[in-house]
Amino acid sequence: MDRSYSFCVARLVCMAAATLSAPFFGQAAGPPQAEAGAAKTYRLAYQFHPGETIRWSVVHQATVRTTMQGTTQTARTRSESIKVWKVVGVSKDGTEFDLVHSVARVKMTNQLPNRAKVTYDSTKDARPPAGFETVAKTIGVPLTEVRMTEYGKVLLRQDKSKQAPSRPDMPLAITLPEEPVAVGHVWSETYKLSVPSHAGIPTQVKTRRRFELESVNNGVATIDVAYQVLTPINDPTVEAELAQRLAKGTVKFDCDRGRILFQQMDVDKRVLGFSGPTSSIHHVMRRTEHLLGSEKKLASKPSTQQ
């Protein structure tokens, strides 16, 4: 097995695990506040009810194109899954929540270099095909238990599955501003990561996820999201490790119901010289989520989707 093939396989296995384990942000809600002068403000805060179960349909598509020693190989993966949040506890004042995150089912297809396409459907396959055993063990079991505040601050987190490792920069829910904000308001979350370098010595990297309230129309708030690297990077190996994180996209909140209606995140990043002067790797990814049961409202307000 050559190095570029191994690199593609490792990348797709990592993406598959992240697709199932990463909750991909959270929920925010709350009715708009009274307009004060020209600057109308909105309160973004989590609202959950005891015993409530919330489901999203998630589609994740990724392509990794690797060139090494003059040979280019492409690996592709696509997964369709149902993400589940179960609310197991709410504080008396409604400001703290206990949540359990799981994945109800998944259909995943891998197309690796020089191999036939392989598909795994958790609703049909009693035994997963080779390479899907780790994914199969994450279906229908608690992956993460978390206690968080109404503004998304994590007070306690426990990852229950060894098959779906957590990433510190992919929290269950985004951190929300603790005061009403107007359109144009910007806030962020910062993270420190340890990333392998070309020399094999971990490099400490500071990153952040930046949010901006872009608009609020017909009761739906649109938030622009971008993942950014703050530490100057001069090592292509480190760049390659970070490439799949560099997502940009949009989150849409139903302010009336307190639910995320839709999310889309995209990555399109090429890194040169990650394994020799003529090597390159190109990540292309798109991940979308739709709240199940929200089709009627989304259809009635097509302008809220981009």
Three-state DSSP string of 79-122? EEEEEEEEEEEECCCCCEEEEEEEEEEEEEEEECCCCCCEEEEC
- Dihedral pair phi/psi, residue 58, rounded to 5°: -120, 130
Distance (Å, whole) CA 150 – CA 141: 25
pLDDT of res. 220: 86
CA distances from 105 to 7, 86, 136 (A): 27, 15, 9
What's the number of domains the chain is made of? 1
Cβ atoms of 263 and 23 within 8 Å: the answer is no
Q: Is 198 exposed, middle or buried (0-12, 13-18, 19+ CB in 10 A)?
A: middle
Contact between 145 and 157 under an 8 Å Cβ cutoff? The reply is yes
CA distance 229 to 220: 29
In angstroms, rounded to a whole number, what is the distance separating the alpha carbons of residues 7 and 71?
Answer: 13
Backbone angles phi, psi at 133, to 5 degrees: -60, -40
pLDDT for 30 equals 45
Q: CA 274, CA 199: separation in Å to the nearest integer?
A: 12
For residue 204, count other CB atoms closer than 10 A to its CB. 9
- In whole angstroms, what is the distance from residue 56 CA to residue 79 CA? 14
DSSP 19: H
Q: Give the per-residue pLDDT at 177.
A: 86
Distance separating alpha carbons of residues 14 and 9, to the nearest angstrom: 9
pLDDT number for residue 1: 45
Give the chain's end-to-end CA distance (angstroms, integer): 42
Instruction: Identify the bridge partners of residue 89 per DSSP, sorted by sequence position.
Output: 98
CA distance 277 to 280: 9
For residues 209 and 241, the answer to whether their CB atoms sit within 8 Å is no
List, in order, residues 6 or more apart from 128 with CB less than 8 Å away.
Answer: 120, 122, 135, 136
pLDDT at residue 269, as a whole number: 96
Domain enclosing residue 146, as ranges: 3-304
Hey, how many other C-beta atoms are within 10 angstroms of the C-beta on 169?
17
Residue 83 contacts residue 173 (beta carbons within 8 Å): no
- Kindly provide the residue ranges of all beta strands, DSSP E only, lying in 91-219, ordered along the sequence: 96-111, 118-121, 144-149, 154-159, 181-182, 186-195, 203-217
Rounding to the nearest 10 degrees, give the CA dihedral for residues 153, 158, 161, 162.
100
What's the pLDDT score for residue 66? 94
CA distances from 254 to 64, 82, 228 (A): 34, 20, 26
CATH of the domain at 111: 2.30.230
Alpha carbon 253 to its chain centroid, in Å, reads 16
Ordered per-residue pLDDT tens for the chain, 306 residues: 444 444 444 444 444 444 455 544 433 444 444 444 558 998 888 888 999 999 999 999 999 999 998 899 999 999 999 999 999 999 999 899 999 999 999 999 999 888 889 999 999 999 999 889 999 999 999 999 999 998 889 999 998 877 666 677 777 777 888 898 999 999 999 999 999 888 888 999 999 999 999 999 888 889 999 999 999 999 999 999 999 999 999 999 877 777 788 999 999 999 999 888 889 999 999 999 999 985 444 433 333 333
